[in-house]
Structure 1
Amino acid sequence: MTNMIIHYVYIKAWRKRVVPLLLTSILLLAYVLGDNSYSKGTSHSSPQLQNTLNNHPSPYLALHGSDPVTWQSWSNKIFERARQENKLVYVSIGYFSCHWCHVMQRESYKNPAIAAILNKNFIPVKVDRELHPALDTRLLEFIQSTRGYSGWPANVFITPEGYPLIGMVYVRPKNFRAILSKLSMQWKSGSTALRKMAKAARSKQVDPEKSKGPNIQIGLGEKYIKNLAKVSLERADDMNGGFGQKAKFPNVSQLNALLSYVRRNNNQAVKSILKLTLDRMASQGLYDHIRGGFFRYTVDTQWQTPHFEKMLYDNAQLAELYIVASQYFKNAHYEKVARDTLDFMLRDMRDQTGALIASLSALDDKGQEGGYYLWQAKFLATLLTKWELMVVTEAWSLQNTPSLQGGYLPVISLNNTEVAQKLGLKVEQVISTIAQVKLKLLHAQKDRRLPKDGKLLAAWNGLALRSFSLAGQLDNGIKYKRAAKKIRDYIVKHLWRNGNLVRSVVSSKPLGTASLQDYAQVSRGLYVWAKLYSPQDLILLKKIILRGWELFYSQRGWQLAKNMVPGFSAREALISDRALPSPSASLIQVSLKIAQLKGDTALLSLAKSALNVENNTLAGDPWWFATHIQTLYELQLIKKK
């Protein structure tokens, strides 16, 4: 028998529990050439699979309906077939506005030779991450744990019993074909061993720490949030704002927690990095200076070059962040950024139902990344007057060759006062000229086309309900209150069914899998709406909250969704913040508020108990648990008062 070398890597996962997992370079195992002494399993013939995604209600899945790959939709039934045929399940998860998802489709999934290998040796499954967020989280965790990085498309080979074996992100077609060929040979010659290895890695995961009960140590919240502030300052980019020295993400959960901290503790260093980050995010390439709204992230440290998709969850959270920041810093510009972002959402993301769609693609209808937002110098010279071009050339630094092939992306190089001083103009002249240029460019974009993902998702609309409800309190904010009412009505009438939330609805039929995140963010949004405008909705809110606890929490911790396959069904005491705030911390947060408001001692005790966990993790690595720490900190502040 060939000498086997099994590679394990011990990593600190998002939950900071030490978890032994298979290193994904299983292709390096010494038995890559195969060994007939291993069991080959039993294969049973079944009717040939067909691509099931044509005309799928998910725009992302429908894009793959014409692939030669025989894509299946995600369900537990696919594992029954996998066991019958002794095949690995190949799960590829992405989303509509993902650039590299489209590249891998074009290079690999449209390739008949690669499709033939996939169809013959695996059961291929395509997943829209926005319909199955819990599965998406688990796949990303697995890839991150075994590769050291993750992203989309997230591609994982899963055993017929439901345990992840190998994961990867985008792979070039030549390499992808080699992986498929070698892995299929390995599976045919050694499926029994591979099954055992995948299951063993899962079985070695450490159980989550149990709660210490509802009596939380005095001062714990302040201790943790001070440590979060310290860690944040260590991560902070003092020159450009934001955190880290690679791509820049908004990190809204962390910024919210830091803003909560400085509102009560006048920490000048934290205030400084907060203000710098807010200023740079709103002035550079993360923000769309023509249409309003934020892109998902920038690929550089200086916030210059965005990844051009626009997501509802980013814009809803950032609008709320800038509203709160405008009030704390007494900064009218932050309020304008929030208003412009909300106006963008109403103009470009509102569905006819009043709910908001999921995203706008990074690619225009010609397949050019960012093409919808970029401007060629010749076009600008034709469209604008010499006066207008002179002003925006200084304001947006258009003198240099554009860094992007498609043309210039407007970013603020000089502020209005600086432009006025340089050109010998009045500030009012600069402001009015730039406003006129923006109107011209906005009008010119009517001749351009940008694909949209029209799914109406529960959690993301919960975030939008929260931001629009808060904006309704601004001066002349009645249109935002009306928008919030329509979002509230859509959630209540279409997504709350027979005592349960559904993730999305198409043609009156549920689509996707409702998760803990849906219950958490709908509850947070509905709480703000009910508290400000409609107290009678507090009754429904409490039903949603209690149902969330019933479905996703037990003494063994939280689960992201019901009925997960075995390899992804682990419970955890803490769930980290990601692009969205931690769903467990979010549900705890709103539960504490409603329990205190209604005098519900049972719910209050339950929420406090769920909050009082994993103290070593919170102390040792607070960055990923900012929402949990903020919730604990604010709870203990209330108790002090």
Structure 2
Amino acid sequence: MKKALSTHFPVYLKPLCLLLFLCCLNWACKGPEADSRRNMLAGETSPYLLQHAENPVHWQAWSDNIWEMAKAEDKLVLISIGYSSCHWCHVMEEETFENDSVARFMNENFINVKVDREERPDVDHVYMTAVQLMTGSGGWPLNVLVLPNGKPLYGGTYHPTERWMQVLTEINRLYREDPQKANEYADRVAKGIAEVNLIEAPAAEGIPGMETISGAVELWKNDWDLQWGGFRGEQKFMLPSNLDFLLDYAYLTKDQQAGEHLRKTLRLMSRGGVFDQLGGGFYRYSTDSEWRIPHFEKMLYDNAQLIGVYARAFKFYQDPEFRETAERIFGFLRQEMKNPEGGYYAALDADSEGVEGKYYTWSGADLKSLLGGEFDTFADYYGIEGTAGQNKADWVLYRSQSDEAYAQKRGITLPELSALKSNWHKVLMQERSQRTRPGMDDKIITSWNALLVTSLVTAYEAFDNADYLKEAAGLFARVMEQTYDSGDLQHSFKKGAATQPGFLEDYTYMAQAAFRLYQATADEAYLNTAEELIAEAEARFRKTDSPLYRFKKDDELIAAIVKTTDGVLPSPNTVMADLFLKLGHFKYDKAYLQQHQEMLRLLSGRFLQSPQNYAAWGSLLLLQQNNYYEVAIVGDQARDLQAEMNRNFLPNALVVASKMPSELPLYDQRFVAGETYIYVCQNHSCKLPVTTVERALSQLNEKDSLILSLPQPF
């Protein structure tokens, strides 16, 4: 998230210039000695919590006991939320939480709680909502001062030490001197959090038509950066749900501008400094509008989803650059983030040796020394500009043009350029391997690994490469083995770590991964697992008198969480609605389809108001307003024909295959020994079977066979 984040006082507090004087406190009676540098986090397994285990602050992990302590001692609770690869979390720790005088004040006046937002996304979501309501922005580290009943009184993000002490002093004074005012304000904030999570039924019945959907997109276009791709702003994030929606929208509406904008966005992202040009994989976000200077942490969930985005984009545009990008992301994940025993780690830190990006950036002098006579060609290719610029100490590599354009400019062939790049990468990666590596957050998070399974299946379909399917199946099996037992799914696993019950996203993302594996393999065990996980989610998370689902089973926090926005992760409610659509069509299940309709009707207005925040819901709206097909391939050659079919971009078609007789509705009575037939169906009514993919594609609605006539590569 943003580094420069709002830290405003609540509106009723006047700006004060405080002269701080901290008296000597009886440290020993409050806990461990300051010089022991140990607190209650030493026994935790979260890398983020362990980073703070030697702070002089008396941190403890989140538990129900904190509220009893706060009431017994009549103290505010200070909740500080972050994650191990968060750069500004590290900065605030070094500046503030390792400061003995600050720690003494915190220990004397507050119950201090550290939360890993990746272990407890529920806690993070509630208090992030509070901070956004109070300040208009959010990010990490997320620091919240709450009453002993859990209701927030103050919230902000990164604070320099002096500002932090001002905040603590003034909020603590307010609580002591005017508790009624403090409670009234906290009540208002808590009410606001509850209202954010309350999704009321729309006044109008029905789901908006294509004209209304397109009108919302036209307004959204005002926020598109048509020069550099992505969306306007000082910082740029790669938001997979938005990119996937634009793929679907460009295809189904023939919108040339949307198609061109998306292709430019995907190219500039993968050519920019926000993509690790040497090691592969995307960094967290770009700190500028041109994708050049990244925030250097690498997250599994970003890279997992972007494999799928680029694989789908390859099917749509048939651009080999997109295939290469997906392959390089997967190569990075397998090389850098895979646990040798199975599963993928959560994140790589932005910092090494206390400096953000030090592991990844280069000085001009080092590059000249390492590359010798090839430096000028390398510098031209990777955007190292001018003689003066070559002396800069922290170059981030990026590409300003395609390989075809660069090779033509230099008068070399593509194979010659490929050989040069291979040698450059070998030399520089060898040098990089001698550096101090960024820290690894070695939690294996169920939901994030499920996203990777889904994207690997998509890559298998797009590239017809069995390695992706093999990895997807192995990963799914490993996660299920470690996290699932008799209906109970755990949120993450790590050797020696305590388990946390799964959230809605764990169940829905794993169900989605299981169904995608069923589509790819026709193994009904995956289908059964998908439906089992859906049933568990229904039993654990369904809201009373609503088609939506709570984020967690129990509502012990100050507000129930109903996550519906599609941000860096798709809303688990969106994924649930998508599963109801696909399984409803596949199994002719009217209950699934009705549930899908009710969820979509409830959220369609949110998409119209804010498509950038509800893009995955927008993709479901597109399927509602365009012909949706079931394509069943049955017979001995079903898998081969399915592979051929899946190389086409068909967002509005559910493609399944079976090599043997089956009583599942789409296959029932359609197997003919010695023959393989393709059945193109719509709302369970099928056209005459055909024997070739070409003929099956011709049976699809002609407008759905669109190939955009887009400009040549720039």
Structure 2 length as normaliser, TM-score?
0.79
Partner of 2:697: none
Deviation at 1:460, TM superposition (A): 0.3
Counterpart of 1:396 (choices 378, 382, 385) is 382
Counterpart of 2:295 (choices 307, 321, 324) is 307
1:396 counterpart letter in structure 2: Y
What is the SS of the residue equivalent to 1:588? Answer: helix
Deviation at 1:208, TM superposition (A): 3.1
CA contact (8 A) 2:216 2:611 kept: yes
CA distance, structure 2, for counterparts of residue 617 and residue 428 of structure 1: 49
Partner of 2:553: 562
Q: Give CA deviations for 1:180-228 in whole Å, capped at 9, x if unaligned.
A: 1222222122224312331244336548344479x9736x253454234
Q: Percent of aligned pairs with the same residue?
A: 28
CA distance, structure 2, for counterparts of residue 301 and residue 237 of structure 1: 9
2:468 is the alignment partner of 1:485: no
What is the SS of the residue equivalent to 1:511? Answer: coil
Deviation at 1:639, TM superposition (A): 5.4
What is the SS of the residue equivalent to 2:254? Answer: coil
CA contact (8 A) 2:364 2:395 kept: yes
Once the two structures are superposed, the pairs formed by residues 238-277 of structure 1 within 5 Å of their partners are 238-277=226-265
Once the two structures are superposed, the pairs formed by residues 50-449 of structure 1 within 5 Å of their partners are 51-203=39-191, 206=195, 208-211=198-201, 217=206, 220=208, 222-223=210-211, 225-364=213-352, 366-386=353-373, 388-400=374-386, 401=388, 406-448=393-435, 449=437
CA contact (8 A) 2:152 2:189 kept: no
CA contact (8 A) 1:354 1:483 kept: no
What is the SS of the residue equivalent to 2:178? Answer: helix
Partner of 2:538: 549
Q: Give CA deviations for 1:490-535 in whole Å, capped at 9, x if unaligned.
A: 2211111231211112336543452222222222222211221233
2:174 counterpart letter in structure 1: Q
Q: Give CA deviations for 1:453-499 in whole Å, capped at 9, x if unaligned.
A: 11100110010111112222354622222211221112211111231
- Superposed CA RMSD in Å reads 2.6
Counterpart of 1:591 (choices 576, 580, 586) is 580
Bigger drift between 79-88 and 418-427 goes to 418-427
CA distance, structure 2, for counterparts of residue 409 and residue 512 of structure 1: 39
Counterpart of 2:516 (choices 523, 528, 550) is 528
What is the SS of the residue equivalent to 1:536? Answer: helix
Bigger drift between 52-61 and 610-619 goes to 610-619
2:244 counterpart letter in structure 1: N
Partner of 1:36: none
1:502 counterpart letter in structure 2: Q
CA contact (8 A) 1:236 1:244 kept: yes
CA contact (8 A) 1:224 1:618 kept: no
- The verdict on how the C-alpha distance between 1:179 and 1:269 changes in structure 2, with shifts beyond 3 A counting, is same
Bigger drift between 531-540 and 87-96 goes to 531-540
Partner of 1:539: 528
Bigger drift between 493-502 and 330-339 goes to 493-502
2:618 is the alignment partner of 1:629: yes
CA contact (8 A) 1:370 1:406 kept: no
1:182 counterpart letter in structure 2: E
- The verdict on how the C-alpha distance between 1:115 and 1:562 changes in structure 2, with shifts beyond 3 A counting, is farther
Q: Give CA deviations for 1:392-420 in whole Å, capped at 9, x if unaligned.
A: 11111223455997522110134434443
- The verdict on how the C-alpha distance between 1:409 and 1:146 changes in structure 2, with shifts beyond 3 A counting, is same
Bigger drift between 407-416 and 236-245 goes to 407-416
Partner of 2:595: 606
Bigger drift between 485-494 and 607-616 goes to 607-616
CA distance, structure 2, for counterparts of residue 89 and residue 287 of structure 1: 40
- The verdict on how the C-alpha distance between 1:326 and 1:475 changes in structure 2, with shifts beyond 3 A counting, is closer
CA contact (8 A) 1:519 1:587 kept: no
Partner of 1:6: none
Partner of 1:18: none
CA distance, structure 2, for counterparts of residue 499 and residue 293 of structure 1: 34
Deviation at 1:599, TM superposition (A): 3.0
CA distance, structure 1, for counterparts of residue 150 and residue 475 of structure 2: 37
CA distance, structure 1, for counterparts of residue 145 and residue 264 of structure 2: 43
1:370 counterpart letter in structure 2: G
1:399 counterpart letter in structure 2: E
- The verdict on how the C-alpha distance between 1:201 and 1:407 changes in structure 2, with shifts beyond 3 A counting, is closer
1:443 counterpart letter in structure 2: Q
Q: Which has the higher contact order (CA 8 A, sep 6+)?
A: 1
CA contact (8 A) 1:59 1:454 kept: yes
CA contact (8 A) 1:588 1:610 kept: yes
Q: Give CA deviations for 1:202-260 in whole Å, capped at 9, x if unaligned.
A: 336548344479x9736x25345423421332110011000013101112211111111
CA distance, structure 1, for counterparts of residue 465 and residue 363 of structure 2: 37
Partner of 1:8: none
- The verdict on how the C-alpha distance between 1:111 and 1:221 changes in structure 2, with shifts beyond 3 A counting, is farther
Partner of 2:690: none
Deviation at 1:371, TM superposition (A): 1.0
- The verdict on how the C-alpha distance between 1:358 and 1:561 changes in structure 2, with shifts beyond 3 A counting, is same
Deviation at 1:376, TM superposition (A): 1.5
2:41 counterpart letter in structure 1: L
- The verdict on how the C-alpha distance between 1:128 and 1:402 changes in structure 2, with shifts beyond 3 A counting, is farther
Deviation at 1:85, TM superposition (A): 1.5
Deviation at 1:48, TM superposition (A): 4.7
- The verdict on how the C-alpha distance between 1:416 and 1:600 changes in structure 2, with shifts beyond 3 A counting, is closer
CA contact (8 A) 1:284 1:303 kept: yes
Structure 1 length as normaliser, TM-score?
0.88
CA distance, structure 1, for counterparts of residue 540 and residue 177 of structure 2: 41
Deviation at 1:55, TM superposition (A): 4.4
Structure possessing the higher radius of gyration over alpha carbons: 2
CA distance, structure 1, for counterparts of residue 67 and residue 390 of structure 2: 47
Bigger drift between 437-446 and 152-161 goes to 437-446
Bigger drift between 87-96 and 175-184 goes to 175-184
Deviation at 1:341, TM superposition (A): 0.7
CA contact (8 A) 1:468 1:483 kept: yes
What is the SS of the residue equivalent to 2:237? Answer: coil
Deviation at 1:450, TM superposition (A): 2.2
CA contact (8 A) 1:232 1:243 kept: no
1:596 counterpart letter in structure 2: H
Unaligned runs of 5+ in 2: 1-7, 20-28, 33-37, 630-681, 683-714
Unaligned runs of 5+ in 1: 1-21, 34-45
CA contact (8 A) 2:310 2:326 kept: yes
- The verdict on how the C-alpha distance between 1:333 and 1:201 changes in structure 2, with shifts beyond 3 A counting, is closer
